[in-house]
Structure formats: C-alpha cells, structure tokens
C-alpha cells in the first residue's frame, strides 16, 4: 500500500516491537486520558509524554510534519479566532484588536490536546503494518464484518482515487471546465460520481467471486497453531502497564488539580 500511513512500519524501535494488541490498548488509553485534560498545569506533562513516545518510535520528524499539513488549517483558524474573539479579560489592546486571556487559555488547551492526540495516533498507526493493526483490532473484539470491510476499503481506496483522477482528466480533455455553478455542471459531476459507483459495483462482484474461490466464509474446524509473532511477552505487558499508569496518572491529576482550584 502506498498511502504513506505505514511507510515506516518496518523500522526497528521499542514501539515497533511492541505487540499490536498491547499497543492499541495502551495508546488508546493515552488518547482518552489526553482528551480528559482541562488544566493548563498538565499540558507540559502531556507534551513531554508525547515527545518521549514519538522519540521511542524513531519515526522521522518529516513524517509528523507531512501529516500536519491539513490539520494546520484548523490550527491556523483557531489561532486567529480564539485569542481575539473569546473571553472578557483583556491582556493586550492593539488598535481595535483585543487579546483575551480566556481565548489564549482555550487556544493552549485545544491546540496542545489536538497535537498530542494526533501524534499518538500517528505513532499507533505508523509503527505497524495496517493489516497487523486491523488483525489486532479483530482479536480485541472488532466484529468480522467491520474488519473485512475495513481491509477491503483500504485495498480499493487508492485504485478508485487513481480512477477518479483519470476520469477527471478525460473530462478536461473533452473540454469540461467546472468554473461556475450551473445545473449542467452539477449533472456532469453527478454522472462522474455515478460512473465511479457503477465501476466499483461491477468490480465488487468479481472480487466476491474471487474471494469465494479462495475459501472466503469457510470456517476452519481445526484450531490453527498460534503465531509466535502474536505472543504477548513480559516486556509487552510491562510497557502496557506503564502506559496505562501514565494515562491514569493524567486522569487522577486532572481530578486533583480541579478540586484544588
């Protein structure tokens, strides 16, 4: 797969070696703990924990930077909006613009939580092949229908993306320019989407027949020997314990700090 999501899945690091199920539980608990944080005093700890995990994963910084391209618009929007429009306590007055304390606090909270959760998500999905991550989700109770649909969708997104590019190029070569809103343009674009859906539907029938020929839906009656790669070691459990303890630490600290203030 060339989505870039698991491009660095074959690196060697403690996070890469961490068993997928333990990694899913540990890093998801960290994500939810981060979303629980409301106190400014806990933000530095959150940044440090995120950076330590990212450092341990040995993922290059360019990977994180490239993934921040689209969320960057969101960060820019809240940076421009929140400090100048939210709150009542003025810190600095520049002409008609007022910088509010509450807005700056809200910005710090939202931006730090957002960046920390996003970075942990990248560590989670960037340090193992996507197939292994879905298998881990399946063994943790994800319904078979959802797991199969996830893998098949992942397999075909790129192909349909390329199909769409070709179809759009063909339309442009035939003189179509969607520069204004009109009923005709809407109908042409609807036909483009319709054609894409018909193509995918036709292909799905061939895919199903190919899957049936390969034994899809046939349940093995003998138990397969466990794959040694999927065995959970003591080290995996210790890493899981440490990560869950850090996550619980944030939740407890949040409750304690809130009670004190």
Q: Whole-angstrom Cα distance, residue 78 to residue 140?
A: 36
Cβ proximity to other proteins: between 170 and 211 the closer is 211
Cβ proximity to other proteins: between 139 and 204 the closer is 204
Find the binding residues for other proteins in span 148-177 (CB under 8 A).
Answer: 148-150, 152-165
Q: Whole-angstrom Cα distance, residue 10 to residue 166?
A: 32
Member of 21, 67, 127, 135 binding other proteins (CB under 8 A): 67
Task: Name every residue whose Cβ is closer than 8 Å to that of residue 162 and which is 6 or more positions away in sequence.
Answer: none
Q: Whole-angstrom Cα distance, residue 68 to residue 54?
A: 15
Cβ proximity to other proteins: between 80 and 237 the closer is 80
Query: Which one of the spans 12-20, 50-58, 144-152, 235-243 is the region binding other proteins (CB under 8 A)?
Result: 144-152
Find the binding residues for other proteins in span 194-253 (CB under 8 A).
Answer: 194-201, 203-205, 207-208, 211, 216-217
Query: Which one of the spans 49-57, 91-99, 180-188, 229-237 is the region binding other proteins (CB under 8 A)?
Result: 180-188
Contact flag: residue 192 with other proteins (CB under 8 A) = yes
Largest Cα–Cα distance of the chain, in whole Å?
A: 77
Contact flag: residue 7 with other proteins (CB under 8 A) = yes
Contact flag: residue 47 with other proteins (CB under 8 A) = no
| Angle, alpha carbons 99-102-106 (nearest 5°) | 105
Cβ proximity to other proteins: between 35 and 233 the closer is 35
Minimum distance of other proteins from residue 68's CB (angstroms): 7
| Strands annotated E in the chain | 90-94, 97-100
Q: Whole-angstrom Cα distance, residue 203 to residue 195?
A: 12
Q: Whole-angstrom Cα distance, residue 3 to residue 194?
A: 25
Contact flag: residue 258 with other proteins (CB under 8 A) = no
Member of 84, 114, 129, 131 binding other proteins (CB under 8 A): 114
Structure tokens at 238: 């210790």
| Cβ neighbours of 192 (radius 10 Å) | 17
Find the binding residues for other proteins in span 76-95 (CB under 8 A).
Answer: 85-88
Q: What is the DSSP letter of 218?
A: P
Member of 25, 47, 189, 257 binding other proteins (CB under 8 A): 189
Q: Whole-angstrom Cα distance, residue 198 to residue 211?
A: 20
Query: Which one of the spans 49-57, 105-113, 221-229, 230-238 is the region binding other proteins (CB under 8 A)?
Result: 105-113
Member of 45, 58, 185, 257 binding other proteins (CB under 8 A): 185
Q: Which of 72, 113, 107, 71 is nearest to 86 (CA)?
A: 107
Q: Whole-angstrom Cα distance, residue 20 to residue 126?
A: 12
Contact flag: residue 28 with other proteins (CB under 8 A) = yes
Cβ proximity to other proteins: between 162 and 225 the closer is 162
């Amino acid at each position: 797969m060339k989505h870039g999501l698991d491009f660095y899945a074959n690196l060697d690091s403690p996070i890469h070696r961490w068993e997928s199920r333990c990694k899913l539980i540990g890093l998801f608990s960290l994500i939810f703990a981060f979303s629980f944080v409301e106190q400014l005093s806990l933000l530095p700890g959150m940044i440090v924990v995120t950076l330590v995990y990212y450092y341990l994963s040995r993922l290059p910084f360019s990977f994180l930077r490239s993934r921040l391209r689209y969320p960057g618009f969101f960060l820019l929007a809240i940076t421009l909006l929140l400090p100048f429009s939210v709150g009542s306590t003025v810190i600095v007055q520049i002409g008609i613009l007022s910088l509010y304390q509450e807005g700056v606090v809200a910005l710090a909270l939202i931006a730090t939580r957002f960046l920390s959760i996003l970075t942990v998500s990248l560590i989670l999905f960037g340090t193992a092949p996507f197939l292994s991550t879905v298998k881990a989700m399946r063994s943790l109770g994800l319904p078979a229908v959802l797991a199969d649909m996830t893998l098949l969708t992942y397999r075909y997104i790129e192909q349909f993306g390329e199909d769409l590019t070709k179809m759009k190029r063909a339309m442009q070569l035939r003189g179509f320019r969607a520069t204004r809103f009109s009923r005709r343009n809407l109908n042409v674009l609807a036909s483009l989407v319709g054609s894409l859906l018909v193509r995918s539907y036709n292909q799905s029938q061939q895919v199903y027949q190919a899957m049936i020929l390969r034994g899809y839906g046939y349940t093995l009656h003998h138990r397969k020997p466990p794959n040694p790669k999927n065995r959970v070691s003591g080290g995996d459990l210790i890493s899981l314990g440490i990560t869950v303890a850090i996550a619980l630490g944030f939740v407890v600290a949040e409750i304690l700090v809130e009670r004190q203030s």
